[in-house]
Amino acid sequence: MNIHSDFKLKAVIHTQDSQWVPSPILGIERKYLDRIGGELARATSIVKYAPHSSFTQHTHGGGEEILVLDGTFSDEHADYSSGTYLRNPPNSVHTPHSKSGCTLFVKLRQFHPEDTSRIQIYTTKAAWYPGLVKGLTVMPLHEYDGVGTALVRWAPQTVFKPHVHPGGEEILVLKGVFHDEHGSYPEGTWIRSPRYSQHAPFTKSEGALIYVKTGHLDHPLHE
C-alpha cells in the first residue's frame, strides 16, 4: 500500500473530512496520512480507539511516536491523557488499550536506528519558551540527528518571515487556523512539505496550535 509515498511532493489532508478505515482489531480505526507497506508499514496515521478496545501485544521494530489528541490512551506502563507525547524506541514492546476511548496521531517505523530513548511528555504541564518572533511560543518535544519535533503556539495576528526547510516539514494543526501564502489550514489539517520547500506562515484572529516536525525528509525511510 502506498499513500502519499512520494516525499518530493507536498501533501495536504483535511483529516476531519477523511473516512475512518477499520483496522484488523475490532474497535480500532485509522485515517491514513502517508504509508508505505501493508499492515507492517512505515506510516503516519490518525488512530481512534473505541471505549474498551485493545490491541494485542506487539513490538515496534522501527519505533513509534504518539501524540494523544483526545481521551486517554493506556498500556501496561501507564495511562496517557490528552496532550501526552510519547516515543517508544525501536524494538519496544507494549499492549495498548483505552478504557474511555481516544484519538491519536501516530508515526510508525520512522526512528533513527540509534535513537533509543523513551520519551513521555505531558504537554499540558510542560514549559513553553519564546519563539523567534513576537506572538510565537515553542515547546520542544524531541531532537535527534537533525530532526526536530515541537509544539508551536501562534498568538492571533502573528507573522513569521519567509524561510526554507532544507530537510522538509510536517505539520498537524491542533487548534485554530494556520496560514501561509499557499493556503489556509484549519484544525485537523495535516501538511507535509518536501525538502527545500519555502513559505511565510502567519495567523489571523483565531491563532493556532500546531505539531511540527522538521528535517526528517532528508532520510524518510530509516529502518
3-state secondary structure of 38: coil
- At 41, the pLDDT band (50, 70, 90 cuts) reads confident
Whether 219 has a pLDDT exceeding 80, the answer reads no
Q: Is pLDDT of 37 > 90?
A: no
Closest to 104 in 3D by CA, of 52, 69, 80: 69
State the pLDDT at residue 40.
66
| Band (50; pLDDT cuts 50, 70, 90) | very high
The domain ranges of the chain are 18-122, 129-218
Domain 129-218 has CATH 3.40.50.300: no
Sign of CA dihedral 33, 87, 64, 74: negative
Between 84-88, 112-116, 200-204, the lowest mean confidence (pLDDT) is in 112-116
Mean pLDDT (whole number) for 207-222: 88
**Matching CATH topology for 18-122 and 129-218?**
yes
Mean pLDDT computed over every residue of the chain? 94
Rounded (10°) CA dihedral 143, 220, 166, 88: -10
| Residue pLDDT, tens place only, 94-110 | 999 999 999 999 999 89
Instruction: Identify the band that residue 223 occupies on the pLDDT scale cut at 50, 70 and 90.
Output: very low
**Would you say how long the chain is, in residues?**
223
Q: What is the pTM of this model?
A: 0.95
Confidence bin at 1 (pLDDT 50/70/90): confident
Q: Which fold has domain 18-122?
A: Jelly Rolls (2.60.120)
Rg of the chain over Cα atoms, rounded to whole angstroms, equals 17
Instruction: Give how far the C-alpha of residue 22 lies from the chain's centroid of Cα atoms, to the nearest Å.
Output: 20
What pLDDT is stored for residue 59 in this prediction?
A: 86
pLDDT interval class at 221 (50, 70, 90): low
**Model pLDDT for residues 178-196, shown as the tens digit of each residue:** 999 999 999 999 999 999 9
DSSP-assigned states of every residue in 145-160: TTEEEEEEEE-TT-B-
Better pLDDT: 220 or 102 = 102
Average pLDDT over residues 109-120: 92
* pLDDT for the residue numbered 20: 97
